[in-house]
Structure 1
Amino acid sequence: MVAMSTPALRRWMAVVCRISARTLQRRLKCCGVEFEEMLDETRRSEAIRLIREGRHSMTEIAYRVGYSDPAHSRARSDVGQEWRHLDFQQIS
């Protein structure tokens, strides 16, 4: 996966939804949602899913969820904290 900037992701999402980027932004705002917050939550959820699979390194996970430099991503620490709290008995 190629990491995209937040504006590029916003434009891509608008294209997928067949609306303008500005319309997407207005509709999200109307729902009380910030695009960046939605993106962060989506990345976090996907990272946790990949951790549960147990087949990927933390670096690979960071790249797969869209961070171009995993050493400087918030996800690295957030997901690392989540990793320590997972109950692997419930995952299987």
Structure 2
Amino acid sequence: MPQAAVREVEEETGYDVEVTGMVGLYTDARHIIAYSDGEVRRQFNICLTAHVVGGALAISDESTDVRWVSPDEIEDLPMHDTQRLRIEHFLQGKTTPHIG
């Protein structure tokens, strides 16, 4: 699992990262994601923490904007409630991962 996260971060941001921990495991059978290509999924997400060890900021085919933001900017960013929840859990700094 950490290898997949490292690969995805590099593909989508240009950064090389080292996984350092887990924020939580998120699943909700009621949250159905329908993509424009016809693919349909239910939410299941493992949210990990990491730090940058190399690479350079880059936009890919899978990203439209890549940048660092401060915690006080997060509230104004457009995102789904489930993404916002994961960020809130990270910022709370809990030592036990969220399961739910």
Please give the range of the TM-score, normalised by the shorter of the 2 chains.
under 0.3
TM-score (norm 1): 0.28
- Normalized per residue, which structure has more helix? 1
> Comparing both chains, which one has the higher relative contact order based on Cα–Cα distances under 8 Å and sequence gaps of 6 or more?
2
- Normalized per residue, which structure has more strand? 2
